Amino acid sequence: MSISCLCGKVSFTLTIPIPVYRIECGCVDCRQALEYAASKGGPPAPTLPDLWYFKNDSFQSKGSYDDIIWAKLREKGSSVRCMSKCCNSTLLVHHPFYRDNLTMVFEQTCEMENIDDEAIPHPKIRSTMKDFPKDLIGDLKPFHPKTSVDENNLDCLGDYASLEESGAEFGPLILTPITNPSGETTRAHIIKWCAATQGPILNLELVEGERFKKF
């Protein structure tokens, strides 16, 4: 399965093509990253980012190190995002919390090819909605199994009885290493990119919570 930027110049092949988890995230950093990319000519920022998690084993199958950047939002930022220079698509996300066993993909800001539609899980939870802008609440759709949007309680646990129950499913995915990897982790991609470009991870120096025009 491949993940490509919208113009097709850059792509990564994921050796394990089935997403293992999926959430909708309302956090300020996910939104800021995608709004920033959109402000630079990238894909339109979605109302609510849809996060797909894959086992962290991939290789860059199209484009070169000069065609991408690995960047974080600010000096103390934890997530490091791979973006294409050509069209500012966000391709892969590395985070220390994933322990090199998972990588995250924003489904709405890239092209996915050769993925089995029947294997795609539905979003398990809608989380971190305390950060969600009030001016966008009207654009939200109800989250299963709810039939309406509760403006006073936007977080949704889906079929889980508790947040602990969701963690019991997601936690082992983070802790389980890949068996017989044939590609590389996002950490390895970052190290090689820094060596090839003779530079550190790019710091975008964005102010936490800063909004960008929604395209």
Q: Which residues, 6+ apart, have CB-to-CB distance to 165 below 8 Å? A: 157
Contact predicate 151/161, CB 8 Å: no
d(CA 65, CA 121): 32
Predicted TM-score (pTM) of this structure: 0.95
> What would the two tokens of residue 179 be?
């068996």
pLDDT tens per residue, range 44-90: 999 999 999 999 999 999 999 999 999 999 999 999 999 999 999 99
Provide the pLDDT confidence category of residue 214 given band limits of 50, 70 and 90: low
Q: Which residue has the tokens 């199994």?
A: 145
pLDDT score recorded for residue 116: 83
Contact predicate 21/53, CB 8 Å: yes
Instruction: Give the DSSP H or E segment for 170.
Output: helix 163-175
